[in-house]
Chain A
Amino acid sequence: MEKQVILNSKHFELTIKRLCYQLIENHNDFSNTVLIGLQPRGINVLTRIKEQLEKILKKDIVCGDLDITFYRDDFRRREQPLIPSATNIDFVIENKKVVILDDVLYTGRTIRSGLDALLAFGRPEKVELLTMIDRRFQRDLPVQADYVGKTVDTLSSERVSVEWKEIEGEDKVVLFTPEANG
């Protein structure tokens, strides 16, 4: 696989800050807005956005983690069973504005499951989607993001990985391309 860094650590930080200011434009002081990260990798986006927003707004932002395993449409279509992660939502989202956060928007199936899973916690006033990377032209379902870190054009044979300094040692986004035959 050929590796290409499409967002380095400097631009990564700028992107996070920009996304925060875009959120503030629409949600003011976040008094009626909650952030929900999708397990597993959306939690990293949530942690970073929450940290930055709290620094800017100087107040606590209500956040939760949502696991979508039991709502996926590929259960029993894989060799291994899908093993769930933890859901931590200790508030009701009834009449709240909800922003769902994930790292990569690709086919849109994860978000479809996330919307289904969200309904178990109430009827939100509005749901928006924030993603670090939007792999456009690869959608299986009609899903679009409201806040996008970076849009990339990719082939389905390629892979995009959002890496975090807490886990992988460096903030960056990498595009993996399979080597051409011959």
Chain B
Amino acid sequence: MDSLSVNHLTGIKDLTKNDIELIFKTADAFKEVINRPIKKVPSLRDITIANLFFENSTRTRLSFELAEKRMSADVVNFSAASSSVKKGETLIDTVNNILAMKVDMVVMRHASPGAAKFLSERVDAKVINAGDGTHEHPTQALLDAYSIREKLGSVEGKKVVIVGDILHSRVALSNIYCLQKLGAEVMICGPTTLIPKYMHELGVKVEHDLIKALEWCDVANMLRIQLERQEIKYFPSLREYSMQYGLTKEILDNLSKEIVVMHPGPINRGVEITSDVADSKQSIILNQVENGVAVRMSVIYLLASQIKRG
């Protein structure tokens, strides 16, 4: 289990359980590094990484950039809003132009599902998917599972419910793959209109009652309602959604056991989760953000070790 079975990270679906465990073991060492007085190691000093964000991002982009810089890689950033994409350039042309400047690795977020895989088959660089449309967001799933492992000791046998907009969520799909590979039981919970039909085929439980779902689980991962991806109305109003699926302190305190609360961010306070829940001791939202840097360092490190020179 000492090397990854894949050459790119396009999705959790392609990873084995051993791959995930190797990423976690390496992330443990990086977590210690990022808590040192001097948080930088020289491992990647001759590697250049391009962060290509064709879609908006705050957390993921900062987290990747920090991870890269903490390992001494050279970093170039690109965002679609200020680029020639607006002038009509294709994805492959944009990327090949960047690679012509001798870039070793590409971290890409794109609105089209499959964009990372498409790219990995066509360019001579390592590709890491930082979110492709509604398909996958592998590093988010890895950091979520890593945070559960850190909080509860292991992921195997744990019950995790993912609540909210499953239909538009790449986080949900990657989380389902990742948690199942590590031996967790997964349930999804949300309004019927936001749960895709094929979900049963993935072997997950489906529940529409939030309280029942919370009573069942050890961990609740609360997703954001992705209004920007919704072209039609999937529920009458945000207020109604919040009444039925919003997690409040009152609900949390009335459960028969103490559960762990997660959120991949950005949080819409007062919609899927109230402020007092987000800031409660049961919430590990900020641990997720910290672990995100360590897990991304681990993924980049392991992929970069496959790059051979000369």
Contact = CB atoms under 8 A, between A and B. Distances in A.
Contacts of A69: 29
Interface of B is mostly: loop
A141 interface: no
Interface residues of A, number: 22
B18 interface: no
Contacts of A122: 37
B28 A86 contact: yes
A148 B70 CA distance: 36
B71 A76 contact: no
A92 B305 contact: no
Nearest to B29: A84
Given A81-B3, A119-B38, A120-B36, A86 B29 contact: yes
A67 B38 contact: no
- Most A CB within 10 A of own CB, among B26, B40, B42, B306: B42
A85 B26 CA distance: 8
B157 to A, nearest CB: 25
Interface in A96-153: 116-117, 119-122
A81 B33 contact: no
B37 A120 contact: yes
Interface of B: 2-4, 22, 25-26, 28-29, 32-33, 36-43, 71, 301-302, 304-309
Interface of A: 67, 69-71, 75-77, 80-87, 92, 116-117, 119-122
7 contacts: A69-B29, A76-B306, A81-B2, A81-B302, A84-B29, A86-B32, A120-B37
